[in-house]
Amino acid sequence: MKLYCLSSHPNKPCYILRFKEITIMLDCGLSAQTALNFIPLPLVPSSRLANLPSWLPRESVETQLEGELKECCGRVFVDSAPEFCPPLANMVDYSEIDVILISNYSSMLALPFITEGTGFKGVVYATEPTLQIGKLFLEELVEYLEQTPNKNQAKYWKEILHLLPPPLSDSFKPRSWRQLYTLGDVKNSLARIKVVGYDEKLDVYGALKVTAVSSGYCLGSSNWVIASDYEKVAYVSGSSTLTTHPRPMDQSVLKNSNVLILTGLTQTPTANPDTMLGELCMAVAMTLRANGSVLIPCYPSGVVYDLFECLSSHLDSLNLSTIPMFFISPVADMSLGYSNILAEWLSSNKQNKVYLPEEPFPHGYLVKTGRLKHYKRIYSDGFSTDFRQPCVVFCGHPSLRFGDAVHFIEQWGSNPLHTVIFTEPDFPHMDALAPFQPLAMKAVHCPIDTSLNFTQANKLIRELKPSTLVVPQAYTQPPPAHVHRSELVIDQESRYVISITRGEVVSLAVRRHSAKVNLDPVLADHILASEVRPGTSLATITAALHVKDNQHNIKELPEDPYVPKKRRLSKGDDTLKSLRYEWGALDVDVFVRKLKQEGINDVKIEPNGSGYIIHLEGADTVIQVEDRSTHIYSEASEVSLRLKLRSILMQCLNSF
Amino acid sequence: MLETETHEQIEQHKIITKWHQLITSVVISSAVECSSVDLSRKRELVRRNTDKIAIVRRILFEHIGGKNVMLDCGMHMGFNDERRFPDFSFITPEGPVTSFIDCVIISHFHLDHCGALPYLTEMVGYTGPIYMTHPTKAIAPILLEDMRKIAVEKKGEGNFFTSQMIKDCMKKVIAVTLHQSLMVDSQLEIKAYYAGHVLGAAMFKVTVGSQSIVYTGDYNMTPDRHLGAAWVDKCRPDVLITESTYATTIRDSKRCRERDFLKKVTECIDRGGKVLIPVFALGRAQELCILLDTHWERMNLKTPVYFAVGLTEKANNYYKMFITWTNQNIKKTFVQRNMFDFKHIKPFDKSYIDNPGSMVVLAPPGMLHAGLSLQIFKKWAPNENNMVIMPGFCVIGTVGHKILNGAKQVEFENRQVVDVKMSVEYMSFSAHADAKGIMQLIQYCEPKSVLLVHGEAVKMEFLRDKIKQEFNLECYMPANGETCNIPTPHKLSIDVSLGLLKAENVKYNNQPPNPKRSRVIHGVLVVKDSSMCIMDVDEACKEAGINRHIIRFTSTVKLEDPAPSYKTAEKLLKIFQEKLPGWNVTFADGAISVETVLIKVEGSEDELKSVYISWTNQDEELGTNVLEILQSIGQVS
Ligand SMILES: [Zn+2]
């Protein structure tokens, strides 16, 4: 068993597992952090961004670099269409992948890079919410980038990384970065997904059984169990033990696996989600009371549902019910609609509502009563007439490089009454804000990451008791921002832990001694076992082996059509069929008595080493008896005597 | 010396069916669970051989921990007394039901499938697990409450379950999702498949060890205006238990039936008549509403269409929230337009019954056995301009059944007699599989046998013959209270040592390909405690803690061949290679091996040679053959 790591970001994982000659890709996350190095794409041309000074390295005389780099408050940005870092392409040929398993909608954004134009022929498995919401994520991302294209195709900066200031100089293999796929790619790629339910056992070429189990992180999020008859691999990616809106995590089936691959822990290990939610509510209320507006950059699904719910009731309690909330995303309507029809994937609290029948999320009600208004874009019909301040705006993209959020930052940035609140943990908020500096509006950092923290993860590992644990290398040392917090690591004591990082391959040895076969009932019925000691029986078997779809079946041997009727030396099968094996020691006294009964009287026994030698007088035959063997030496002409001896000997020995 | 009895290697599924006419309440008891099968088989293997000579009678499998699964728990709509509930004493004459039944599975929310559930849990006292899909769990209590109200409040029946009992009962229900493999206990597994029919309807596969059944409940193999078609994977169950309500019908296309339906409705309202369509509040009603609403929109019709108050909105809310259970079309467009927001269908008020002019009313219940539809029927029946369209199957004893059979007068409990002058139409809108659909399902899941329930005997016989003819499958149709024993072959899964498999694989790959030759595995089956494993003979001895005793024979043949002994050996090698084609004949270290038989030549030049042949007892046949060949050479020369 081998595991390849294709992604450097533990929360946007991408692994390849080779197991029983099957190649499985585990997730295909896309890190959008590379986009932070690029100039934002404003909806309406921004003179501020357009007039940012060009940047050139002092030593350089490269004229080709002209216009590729711009500077804003000491940071250098690439003025080009944003690029993304897809999973490492040269480790495994994508056309060899049999199956892709997707854990949740946030770890599938590289799917079109993997499946389109690569010769990929496999199947992709994901739950229905992962497919539906993942589709929204992919479509939103593509639409953001296509609506505000940047015609520049900067590439020379990648050649002179060493001359650039950080963080640009730290870019990881920027030559492998790629521009985003098209809507067509997204459509074709998603068409390859086969929808699965939780606890549905999927057969992979008869060799493996694959099952998705609830991971509690977001709608439809799953962990995977990959099992052969003897081995079990658990892949845990993006899990949560907190009670929010998704179905709770199912841990029982993950227990006692041979290998546990654990990734997708919280990106903000020092922030408590509940505290952050409280701080967010307070920051919103303070801003609104001061007549300012709030921008919350967000993804189109996920924690944003909980924010609608909590914030609306918080504002109600403060008599701020008249403040409108705007949710702006090309897929806002779909997201709100879908979330309310996925009852089976929700926490039992929310699930019970549909039995009433009431919508599981209150946002349907908030929309009906006009508290929450949603639009595809800010230039959509009705937005300009409905829009009033103060208000709370939820919109993408959390990187602040594209999407309508760019517009609000540009509009509100110079006003200290307004606040931008960062909740999505994917992007460091100061990096996100860098191209908009200097900024007068307040920036509040309330990351809400419900994924497992280190304490929860270590507890989970103790309960799951895997034989081997595989974690991203980043989890074996404290995060760079908290180097002294030694508790922010995965516990490596008392357990075999393998760490893995992008570009690495690790072998995961799983010892196995046997395989499963199906025993045909007709054959089973003809098997006669000999009890060799109480509770243990043996039976010699010779049977036909049928191998199909990696399944072994054994049946009775057919009559060999090649054996002619007249007796002939047949090769193998028929002789094997009646074969028995002798065991145990020979009782020489019994043997001799039997010889005499059969008329062989003239017997001379003499001890020889650990055994005996028996001479048959009158015949040129010697029998050498040892503890574990009996050897009969005879003249070829004495056939009948030899056969007689054989028969007597076999009567005296046990066999199976 | 050793004899083996010839007998069928079968396990038995014991299937008991018990229902009052159309109530499906089949109890399946698979006689043996997995582990006890293995154990008893081992015991049998052992026992036979300790008593080597005598023929050991096959030990019949005891009913150790057999699993009993109750499939649906319906009530009969045609009875008003205790006969409406299934007779649970039939399945367990003495003792509580809970210890007898391992779990209850409800296929869908129709009362003939779930109507007796509160009775079972709250009055009979069953406390074990109950499974149904999420939509069924949501909708079933509403229909149960509705039925309870009609029975208790309108008909004044006693000994019926209460509202609280329905609530308590539903709290015990475990909701399942499609295709989820759910372990009821360590051996009993259930899995739901989409069944069409009504929102949330499911078929269930029940697996115990290597034995399995698929129970269909009601299902529909053709997608309709709001639901998709039933589907099941090639799971090859031992028994497929299928409903056969429309066993002989091969229905015409859905489009034709819809056109026909709309034509009849239009004709009636054109002559100023009133159209009554008795429906279940949930299910077919939504399909008909979509049909009428789109037609009214397209034709710009003004005649009012009503649907019974209350249930409409609630029902449609369920359809909205469980939209993932409807068909692809509705699912795709629901964000833009919710199919269940009807433009032309208004809530009905009882005062409208006597309104003049034409109208169309959809009212529950569907079989005209009680409630609003019956009330309207009594008023409208005497007018020949009016029309009643029965869009589904009606159980014997109901008013619906009577008028469909041409009754011109219907008498009620209070001696009230109603003349039926209105036209009575029957439209098969019930989403049940027809004969074609049933055959299709058999094709999908490839069962080893089929059991028909829920249909009329004559029609079922026709279908049974068809199934036997087309699929060559055993087909059962047990009568009420009859027990059906279905033999199923039993599969044993055992271990085999990887070393043995690999050695076989190497050997197989070294042979020239011959598709007619079967791959052969030779080893020793070790039965120890609760495990069974085939391994190589030496491994097996080690595992069992015994020593092999090797019997070896060495015979000498004198050969006259005046040549160096290695020359003699070379000659012999050629002879063996010629005489034993296909056998592995090699020469190394001065000795010839024919497979594992060793041949060695001794003696100096010009002398008589001694040829030693040595083989183990297991190679007796080959060894004797080699010996014979050598002896024949000796005689010739
Ligand atoms: Zn039904």
Q: What is the ipTM of this complex?
A: 0.78
Residues 516-555 of chain B whose Cβ lies under 8 A from any Cβ of chain A: 516, 518-529, 532-534, 537, 540-541, 544-555
Q: How far is CA B636 from CA A344, B237, B630, in A?
A: 88, 66, 10
Cβ atoms within 10 Å, residue A301: 26
CA of B113 to the centre of ligand 1 (A): 7
Per-residue confidence (pLDDT) for residue A26, from 0 to 100:
97
- In one-letter notation, the amino acid at residue A176 is S
Chain A residue with the nearest C-alpha to that of B3? A526
Task: Give B-chain residues touching A357 at CB under 8 angstroms.
Answer: 138, 314, 317-318, 321
Task: Give me the percent of chain B exceeding a pLDDT of 70.
Answer: 80
Contact A44, A35 (CB under 8 A): no
Inform me whether the C-beta atom of residue A361 falls under 8 Å from chain B C-beta atoms: no
Residue A376, pLDDT score: 95
* Residues A354, B321: C-beta atoms closer than 8 Å: yes
CB A79 within 8 A of CB A103: no
Closest CA to B136 of B119, B116, B113, B120: B113
- Output the pLDDT for position B2: 30
Q: Which of A101-115, A146-160, B137-151 has the highest mean pLDDT?
A: A101-115
pLDDT for the residue numbered A390 = 95
Residues of B in contact with A552 (CB under 8 A): 496, 501
Residue A414 pLDDT greater than 80, yes or no: yes
Peptide bond into A324 cis (omega under 30): no
CA of B114 to the centre of ligand 1 (A): 10
**A341/B137 touch (CB, cutoff 8 Å), yes or no:** no
* B490 has a chain A CB within 8 A of its CB: yes
Q: Are B623 and B554 in contact (CB under 8 A)?
A: no
CA nearest to B518 within chain A: A544
Specify the pLDDT at position B93.
Answer: 57
Judged by average pLDDT, the poorest of A10-24, A142-156, A197-211, A469-483 is A142-156
Judged by CB atoms closer than 8 Å, whether chains meet at A583 and B175 is answered as: no
The dotted CATH code for A275-445 is: 3.40.50.10890
pLDDT score at B11? 31
Q: Tens digit of pLDDT for each residue in A299-330?
A: 999 999 999 999 999 999 999 999 999 999 99
What pLDDT was estimated at residue A136?
96
State the Cα–Cα distance between residues A619 and A616, nearest whole angstrom.
Answer: 6
Q: Do A636 and B631 touch (CB under 8 A)?
A: yes
Q: Which of A134 and B490 is assigned the larger pLDDT?
A: A134
Residue A260 alpha carbon to ligand 1 centre in Å: 45
Question: A432 is written with which tokens?
Answer: 């996100």
Task: Say if the Cβ atoms of A649 and B551 lie within 8 Å.
Answer: yes
Look at the domain B254-426 and name its fold: Rossmann fold (3.40.50)
Q: Show which of residues 283-342 on chain A sit within 8 Å of chain B, judged by CB atoms.
A: 333-334, 337-338, 340-342
CATH 3.60.15.10 residue ranges in chain B? 7-38+47-250+431-481
**A566, two tokens:** 């007249």
B548 → closest Cβ in A333, A583, A646: A583
The one-letter amino acid at B120: L
CB contact under 8 A, B552 and A344: no
Q: Hey, what amino acid is at A510?
A: V
d(CA A134, CA A108): 7
Helices (H), A14-127: 47-50, 111-115
pLDDT of residue B71: 84
* Active-site residue, from B11, B122, B243, B258: B243
What pLDDT score was predicted for residue B459? 81
Is the predicted pLDDT of residue B39 greater than 50, yes or no? no
Q: What is the mean pLDDT of residues A145-165?
A: 87
* Distance from the alpha carbon of residue B200 to the mean position of ligand 1, in angstroms: 11
Q: Mark yes or no for CB contact A558/B518 under 8 Å.
A: yes
Q: Is B607 tagged catalytic?
A: no
pLDDT for A379 equals: 92
d(CA B26, CA A243): 40
Sign of CA dihedral B183, B188, B194, B198: negative
CA of B431 to the centre of ligand 1 (A): 8
**Cα–chain center distance at B575:** 62
In angstroms, rounded to a whole number, what is the distance separating the alpha carbons of residues B335 and B345? 21
For the domain A582-655, what is the CATH code?
3.30.310
C-alpha–C-alpha distance, residues A192 and A187, integer Å: 9
Q: List the strands of the sheet with B211-215, edge to edge.
A: B182-183, B188-194, B202-208, B211-215, B239-243, B449-453, B474-476
Which CATH topology does B552-636 take?
A: TATA-Binding Protein (3.30.310)
B139 C-alpha vs ligand 1 centroid, how far in Å? 13
A574 touches chain B (CB under 8 A): no
Q: Give A39-94 pLDDT, tens digit per residue.
A: 999 988 888 998 999 888 877 666 777 888 999 998 999 999 999 999 998 889 99
Question: Do A634 and B554 lie within an 8 Å CB cutoff?
Answer: yes
Helices A128-147 and A183-190: crossing angle in degrees, nearest 10, is 170
> pLDDT (tens digit, 9 = 90+) per residue, A82-109?
999 999 988 899 999 999 999 999 999 9
Looking at chain B, the domain(s) classified CATH 3.40.50.10890 span 254-426
3-state SS class at B435: helix
Six-digit token pair at A506?
């690790």
**Residue B321 Cα, ligand 1 centroid: separation in angstroms?**
21
Residue B511 has what pLDDT? 76
Mean pLDDT of A262-269: 95
Instruction: State yes or no: pLDDT of B42 exceeds 50.
Output: no
Q: Write out pLDDT tens, residues B375-406.
A: 999 999 999 999 999 887 777 778 998 998 99
- For residue A165, with 0-12 CB atoms within 10 Å meaning exposed, 13-18 middle and 19 or more buried, which class applies? middle
Confidence of residue A452 (pLDDT cuts 50, 70, 90): very high
Q: pLDDT-derived band of residue B252, with 50, 70 and 90 as boundaries? A: low
Instruction: Decide which of B313 and B548 is more confident.
Output: B548
Measured between CB atoms, does B622 come within 8 Å of chain A? yes
* Residue in chain B nearest A358 by alpha carbon: B317
| d(CA B209, ligand 1 centre) in Å | 30
Instruction: Please tell me the distance in Å from A220's CA to the nearest CA on chain B.
Output: 13
pLDDT tier for residue A406 given thresholds of 50, 70 and 90: very high
Question: Over the stretch B500-552, which tens digit does the pLDDT of each residue have?
Answer: 888 888 888 877 777 767 788 889 988 876 678 899 999 999 989 999 999 99
Q: Which residues on A lie below 8 Å from B338 (Cβ)? A: none
CATH, domain range A2-41+82-142+163-269+451-507? 3.60.15.10
Pick the CATH number of B7-38+47-250+431-481 from 3.30.300.130, 3.30.1380.10, 3.60.15.10, 3.20.20.70: 3.60.15.10
Q: Residue A573: its chain B contacts at CB < 8 A?
A: 520
pLDDT bracket for residue A505 (50, 70, 90):
very high
Residue pLDDT, tens place only, B153-173: 766 777 789 999 999 999 999
Q: Cβ of B544 and A536 within 8 Å?
A: yes
What pLDDT digit, counting tens, does each position of B265-284 carry? 999 999 999 999 998 767 67
- Are the CB atoms for B13 and B185 separated by under 8 Å? no
The ranges assigned to domains in chain A are: 2-41+82-142+163-269+451-507, 275-445, 517-577, 582-655
- Indicate the pLDDT class of residue B63, thresholds 50, 70 and 90: very low
Q: Is A590 on the interface with B (CB under 8 A)?
A: no
- Confidence at residue B279, expressed as pLDDT on a 0 to 100 scale: 86
> Cβ separation of A529 and B181 shorter than 8 Å?
no
Nearest chain B Cα distance for residue A120, angstroms: 26
Residue ranges of A 505-534 with Cβ closer than 8 A to chain B? 512-519, 521-522, 524-533
Q: Is A634 helix (H, G, I), strand (E, B) or coil?
A: strand
Interface contact flag, B45 A547, Cβ < 8 Å: no
Residue bearing the bigger pLDDT, A511 or A382: A382
Mutate to test the interface with A, among B183, B207, B321, B331 (most CBs of A within 10 A): B321
A183: left (phi over 0), alpha (psi -120 to 50) or beta: alpha
Query: Cα–Cα distance between B6 and A526 in angstroms, integer?
Result: 9
